[in-house]
Amino acid sequence: MPKIKDIPKVNRPREKFLEKGPDGLSKSELLSILIGSGIKGKNVKKLSEQIIRKFGNSFLDITVDNLLKIKGIGKAKALQIVAAISLVKRFYDEQKPIENIILSAADVIELNKDLKDKKKEYLVCLFLDARNSLIKKEVISIGILDKSIIHPREIFGPAIELRSAGIILLHNHPSGEPNPSSKDIEIIHKIVQAGKLLGIKVIDFIIIAKDNSYSFFDSLQPEEDKKVNYISEGTQLSLFDLLEIDRPSYTPLIKKSPIIFRNSIPEIPSTTYGTFSIFKYPAKFIPQVIAYVLKEYAENGMEIFDPFAGYGTVGLVSRIYGYNYELWDLNPIIETIHKTALITKHEINILELIENIRQSKKEFVPDWSNLDYWIPEKFLPLISKSWGFVHSQNDEIKYLLTIPLLKTTRYFSHSDEKIHKLYKSKFSKQKIENLFQDDWESKFYNMLKREVTILIKKIDEYDKLNPQDVKYKIIAGKDIFENKLESNKNILITSPPYLQAQEYIRSTKLELFFLGYKENYIKQLSKKEIPYNKVREIDIYSEKYFQYREKIQEKHLIRLYDRYFHSILNIFHTLGKSITDYMFIFVGSAKIRTTPIPIDEIIIEHLNKFGWEHEITLVDKIVSRVMFQSKINPASKNEDSRIKTENLVVLKRSF
């Protein structure tokens, strides 16, 4: 028996693997790499072939005891083989779709997302059984599609052999354009006709491009079968028929279209224009999104509502287009931001104002047990005097100074002002040390003067947009579940809290204390934020909600996931009863341990149950608002990536 070293290098398993990759090796050759060496009279290749022949289809269930019965396999090699199989099975179980059931076009795309990056055209077929379960996925052709090259037998031959109840076809467009070509339409027509003759239903034909997709579902199904199951008509009875229970249905692709909101509203030149950016509030709603909605969908006399108002951008944009509005938010800082943003243009002597602060004898010390931890003792008298002056002024002067002084106070605290949350970093420690060595008092007043100057400029910019005098209402500092709309609103526009970034009270804690709110009140507000607020569980009508929930392993993340969706879905359903026309919900696919959660699709599926028809989802590319980014997620140790797009979900009241 020749030894492995006697075999030409080109045919040795290891060398062959390096040259051709795993697909170029047989099962026994792959196993021989794992075993490493053979025994006297039997090289590793022959030993591997013996093992593959002996266990055949039961190989994945092999045990250490099974292997120890084979001459040449000791305990160490047996453990190596079984451990490798167990590792692969573990990863497969964690990543495979639940039962491999295909419930929607989105599921199909998720299973074939690698097609988006292919440089050549592929035609792929999914073969499904009567339970919507994927039997097999097969590449039918590679290269430019041509009806003279693609023969139905290449698709329906395997379908008949596999006893498929239905098929779904996918085709990629490397050009990035998802709309079907004339050849695509000819080919799908030819395949559908063949399927009818054979009694095998062609459920969908999906074109996948880089950033978008196109589904033929609506044109392939008769009107009465728009919600079809995967069993073909008249050819096969399933367990669902015999038991008279609901069968899984196929949901067509959610209609999506790309857009760059920042470029869609010429009258608002940037996202930071005017009073849209006078304060660094986490995850601000960009004004162009709201402007787009009001210009495209709103009509004269309509009233606008935002239940997660945050910074209050919906109100500022509504004024530009002359709509009355109502804003809610748990964080009471919205009142200060909004009143500041609405200051009318006027002349003021900034130097005189700063000198009045210098000469002031008034003091204000926040009701904050951790004040000494965050504000250096040396700076406290100056900061207290400045706030004493501000709190003693009339509204016009008070709101002109408040936000500039909030920014200056944070800079002179131990907090790292580059990070949204209250955080003492090594950079902020160095900042304080540098201030101590400088003329920090002059720097304090100079910074305050600069911030007031910037604010006045932004007030002037907003005034150029000609905001109108409209009616408005703000409810701040109350739990959203405790509020009720006193009258119907026509349009709801909102951007709900992110799945893993909802601590807005904690982010603005320093500011709230200096605005005069009491410590106990701020603590109570913090407990009402979604991650901490115990909410009433509701029935959730979304397959995707349960599908993605199964992928989460850690209990605390499951709890976060549940609280988030039970909260926002309940809120949208409850408030939706008082919305007469449209809901516009702006969300991104937040991640849990690097797994994107399709929040927009879960919302769409759930609210459809309550009479909200999905019109379209507009997909906006995020330019950049990440201050710090890590290549590796510190919790999962996997490659980290930030959300690249956000979605404006357009829902219309259908009944």
**Token pair belonging to 59:** 């190989």
Inter-residue contact 633 to 594 (CB < 8 Å): yes
Boundary of a domain, candidates 570, 586, 602 = 586
For 576-629, write each residue's pLDDT tens digit: 999 999 999 999 878 887 778 999 999 999 999 899 999 999 998 876 544 344
Is residue 64 in a domain?
yes
Give the pLDDT score at 249.
Answer: 55
Query: Closest Cα to residue 305, out of 480, 526, 541?
Result: 480
pLDDT of residue 75: 87
Q: Are 390 and 449 part of one and the same domain?
A: yes
Domain count, the chain: 4
Q: What digits encode the pLDDT tens for the residues 391-434? A: 999 988 999 999 999 999 999 999 988 777 778 888 889 999 99
Q: Report pLDDT for 147.
A: 52
Going by pLDDT thresholds of 50, 70 and 90, the confidence category of residue 33 is confident
Percent of the chain with pLDDT over 90: 43
Task: State the pairing for strand pair 303-306/256-259.
Answer: unpaired
**Residue 218: other Cβ atoms inside 10 A:** 12
104 and 221, same domain (yes or no)? yes
Statement to judge: residues 496 and 568 lie in one domain: yes
Same domain, 75 and 152: no
* N-to-C CA span, the chain: 80
Amino acid at 561: Y
Q: Are 240 and 229 in contact (CB under 8 A)?
A: yes
pLDDT at 635: 45
Band of residue 242 on the pLDDT scale cut at 50, 70, 90: very low
What is the percent of the chain with per-residue pLDDT over 70, rounded to a whole number?
85
Average pLDDT, the chain: 84
User: Could you give the CA distance from residue 199 to residue 218 in angstroms, rounded to a whole number?
Assistant: 19
Q: How far apart are CA 586 and CA 313, in angstroms?
A: 13
Is 268 buried (19+), middle (13-18) or exposed (0-12) by CB count in 10 A? buried
Final residue before a domain boundary, out of 463, 485, 518: 463
Please tell me whether residues 333 and 477 are part of one structural domain.
Answer: yes
Range of the structural domain that residue 214 is part of: 99-253
pLDDT confidence tier of residue 96, bands split at 50, 70 and 90? low
| 607 within some domain | no
Same domain, 432 and 566: no
- Whether 647 is covered by a domain: the verdict is no
The mean pLDDT of 349-363, rounded to a whole number, is 94
Final residue before a domain boundary, out of 463, 482, 517: 463
CA distance to 227, 466, 530, 591, 611, per residue, from 604 (Å): 16, 36, 20, 18, 11
145 within some domain: yes
> Which residue from 88, 75, 84 is spatially nearest to 32, judged by alpha carbons?
84
With respect to residue 420, please indicate whether it lies within any of the assigned structural domains: yes
Beta pairing class for 213-215 and 612-621: unpaired
The answer to whether residues 448 and 409 touch, using CB atoms and an 8 Å cutoff, is no
The answer to whether residues 219 and 299 belong to one domain is: no
- Give residue 110's pLDDT: 82
Write the DSSP symbol of residue 550: T
Which structure tokens are listed for 166? Answer: 């239905």
Whether 259 is in a domain gets the answer no
Q: How far is residue 63 CA from its own chain's centroid? A: 42
Same domain as 114, residue 212: yes
Residue 538 shares a structural domain with residue 474: yes
Which pLDDT score, from 0 to 100, does residue 146 have?
59
Which among 506, 457, 472, 38 is positioned nearest to 278, based on CA atoms? 457
- In the Cβ-directed half-sphere of 412, how many Cα atoms lie within 13 Å? 28
> How would residue 1 be classed by pLDDT, with cut points 50, 70 and 90?
very low
pTM over 0.75: no
- pLDDT over 70 (residue 239): no
Residue 64: pLDDT over 80: yes
Q: Is residue 369 part of a domain?
A: yes
* Alpha-helix residue ranges (DSSP H) falling in 277-349: 287-297, 313-321, 333-341
- pLDDT (average), residues 253-279: 90
User: Is 205 found in the same domain as 139?
Assistant: yes
Residue identified by tokens 């760059």 is 260
pLDDT tens track for 297-306: 999 999 999 9
Give the pLDDT band of residue 252 (cuts 50, 70, 90). low
